[in-house]
Each structure stands twice: as C-alpha cells, then as structure tokens.
A and B are shown apart, each in its own frame.
Chain A
Amino acid sequence: MSFFQQEVPLAWYLLLSAALFSLGIVGFLIKRNLITIFLSIELMLNGVNLSFVTFAHQWHAVKGQIFVFFVMMVAAAEAAVGLAIIIAVFRARATLAVDRIDLMKL
C-alpha cells in the first residue's frame, strides 16, 4: 500500500511525453500516407506540450504554459496550411502515398 501513498513523480509525466514524441518519430518514419505523417507530427507536438506543462508545474512558471498556448496557435496555422497543401497535391497527383509523390527526388 505504500506504493499508493506517494504522489506521482514529475519524471513519469516527462517519460510519457518522451514516449509520445518517440512514437511520433516512429510514425513519421514508417507511415506511407501523407495525412498520417502529418498526424504523427501533431503527436510529436503534443508530447512536447506535455513536457512544457510539466516543467511549468515544477518551476511554478506561468510562461511555460503560455508557450504551450503559442504552440497550439502555430499548430492550428500549420494544420490549415498543411492540409491545403495536401488537398492541392491530391488534386494534382490523385494520390496520397508519399512513395508516388517523388517529383523533387533525385
């Protein structure tokens, strides 16, 4: 029962954020669909946001949370532009598979 009597260490939150970030990297590498790759980037952003909030709680700093707010705003802008680019690519190439979008490859 002594295990349950302690508070949650902040290191566990940081471990969770590292795990989310690493899963985002793996998704970015192994997924072959343009939208799913974009979703993996969002997963990485969320992992970083969690570590920002954790450190803001550790140091009692409000600015860490405000940084998360700005990250959310930039992620919204990035999602809008990125999805517009995906629509344009789909209209031009009629596919979302990244293996077939290779116009700029050497």
Chain B
Amino acid sequence: MGFNGPESLVLVFFSLTGRLLPAPAIDGETMHLILFFIFAGFCLAGAINLLLQSHPINSALSLIVVMTSLSVLYLLLGAEFLAAAQIIVYAGAIMVLFVFVVMLLNAGREDRTLGSRAASVLGLPAAAVFLGVLATLFLRAQGLGRAAISQGVTTTEDLSRVLFHELLLPFEVTSVLILIAILGAVALARHGDGSGSNRERTVAK
C-alpha cells in the first residue's frame, strides 16, 4: 500500500512515537480515519467556540482554527491546491483583515441580549430541523463512496488546465470583481473629507 501526501508525514510521526509503545500496524485507511476524527473534532470545537465566546477577537481566532483544520480535510480529499489556498487566502488574508478591523475598532465585549424573539422562537428550531433533514438525507444517500487519497489527487496542473482553458473568462471576470471590491472598500472606509463624511456626521448627530 503506497502512502503519499499528508498520510506519509503522520506515518513518520507515528513510527517515531510508536517505538515507545507497541502500536498496532497502521495502514492508510486507519490513518485517514484518525486524521479525519482529529481535524473534524477541531473543526466542530472551533465552530462551537465561535458561538460561545463573547469577544470578537476570540471568535475570529477560533474561526482560524476551523479554517486550518478544514485545509487538512481538503488534503485528505485530494484537493492539494485548495488546501494551500484555504490557508493562504482564508486563514492568511481574510482573517488577518478581520482581526485587523477588530483591533482597529477596539470592539469590546458584546452585550448579551437574547436577540429578537423571532430569532429564538422560530430561528433556532429551524436551524435544528435544517441540520436534521440534511443529516438524514446524507446518511440515507445511496451511492456515496468512501474517501481515499488513493483514488486520485487533483493536482494543481489538472486544476489550472481547466481553469485557464475552459474557464478563462470567469477567471478574468473575477479579477475585475476583486478590483471593484478594492475600489469600493477604499471609497467606503476613506477618512472622509469628501462629500460622504458630511452625511455621516449628520447621521451621528
């Protein structure tokens, strides 16, 4: 059985630690299972911690935990480029932006109100029902396979071949979107001596 990708690294780790205790022979599937449980647990713990924390900076940091452990799950599913992009774009760029804004605005603890009554009466049961429906749907679904990295890793070459041949126009449109977003962000967050600031001051009064 060949090992490639992240499983080999963990196998090295386990073989180093395994000298201390007589570990059973770990094959690729077991390694996949162990890695899945570890990082799915990190994911859920981070997401629940995001809800429990009352300070925005703690919520942002626990979302970083969720994103980095998701990138390990992407590697297990054979998406190596997305695993790198998840860390670089999400955990690197977007979350740094979030943390920067939280620190810039110096936002304190949120005052615990229970929210609107409609949210707690209607919204939370609706979310629970939604999760239940999705869970039964996925558990009953026939024909869903099993995750195995031996079933093929989508390399960056495969991805870029499709991206730059068939989907070149959407890719370029995305770059225009990013440019417009940059311009919009600068225009919105500018310390106003333009016309926008007068309106803001009247609203503040």
Choose among B85, B94, B135 the residue that contacts A69 (Cβ–Cβ < 8 A).
Answer: B85
Find out whether the CB atom of A18 lies under 8 angstroms from the CB atom of B138: yes
Q: Given the interface contacts A8-B33, A29-B127, A57-B78, does A97 sit within 8 Å of B111 by beta carbon?
A: yes
> Is B113 touching A15 in the complex (CB atoms < 8 A)?
no
Q: Check if A106 is an interface residue, CB within 8 A of chain B.
A: no
A-B contact pairs, 23 of them (CB 8 A): A4-B30, A7-B148, A14-B134, A14-B138, A15-B134, A27-B51, A30-B119, A31-B110, A33-B107, A33-B110, A35-B60, A35-B102, A35-B105, A39-B50, A42-B94, A58-B145, A65-B159, A68-B82, A76-B93, A79-B97, A87-B101, A94-B204, A96-B105
Please give, as numbers and ranges, the residues of chain B lying within 8 Å of A83 by CB-CB distance: 97-98, 101, 185, 189
Hey, which chain B residues are within 8 Å of A92, CB to CB? 200, 203-204
Q: Are A80 and B97 in contact (CB under 8 A)?
A: yes
B135–A15 touching, CB < 8 Å: yes
B112-169 residues with Cβ-Cβ distance < 8 A to A are 112-113, 115, 119-120, 123-124, 127-128, 130-131, 134-135, 138-139, 141, 144-148, 151-152, 154, 158-159, 162-163, 167
Our pick among A43, A57, A80, A103 for the contact of B47 (Cβ within 8 Å) is: A43
Contacting pair B98 A43 (CB below 8 A): no
Contact B82 A15 (CB under 8 A): no
Contact assessment for B47 and A23 in the assembled complex, using a CB-CB cutoff below 8 Å? yes
Q: What is the CA–CA distance of A6 and B27 in the complex, to the nearest angstrom?
A: 10
**Complex interface residues of chain A between 30 and 51 (CB less than 8 A to chain B):** 30-33, 35-36, 38-40, 42-43, 46, 49-50
B31-55 contacts to A, CB under 8 A, are 32-33, 36, 40, 43-44, 47-48, 50-51
CA distance A13 to B40 in the complex (A): 8
Question: Is A18's CB under 8 angstroms from B79's CB?
Answer: no
Q: What string of 1s and 0s marks CB contacts (under 8 Å) between B7-27 and chain A? A: 000000000000000001000
Given contacts A9-B147, A29-B115, A76-B93, contact A4 B158 (CB under 8 A): no
**A32 touching B110 in the complex, CB below 8 Å, given contacts A84-B188, A93-B203:** yes
Contact partner of B163 (CB less than 8 A), chosen from A25, A31, A42, A66, is A66
Kindly state the interface size class of chain B when it binds its partner.
35 or more
Tell me if B's interface is mostly helix, strand, loop or mixed. helix
Of B56, B67, B178, B189, which is within 8 A of A88 by CB? Answer: B189
Q: What residues on B are CB-neighbors of A103 within 8 Å?
A: 203
Q: A18-B134, A77-B181 are in contact. List 11 more A-B contacts (CB 8 A).
A: A14-B144, A19-B47, A29-B123, A30-B115, A32-B113, A50-B74, A56-B79, A57-B151, A69-B85, A77-B178, A84-B188
Who on chain A is nearest to B100 by CB? A83
Contact A12/B127 with A29-B119, A72-B85, A77-B177 known, Cβ cut-off 8 Å = no
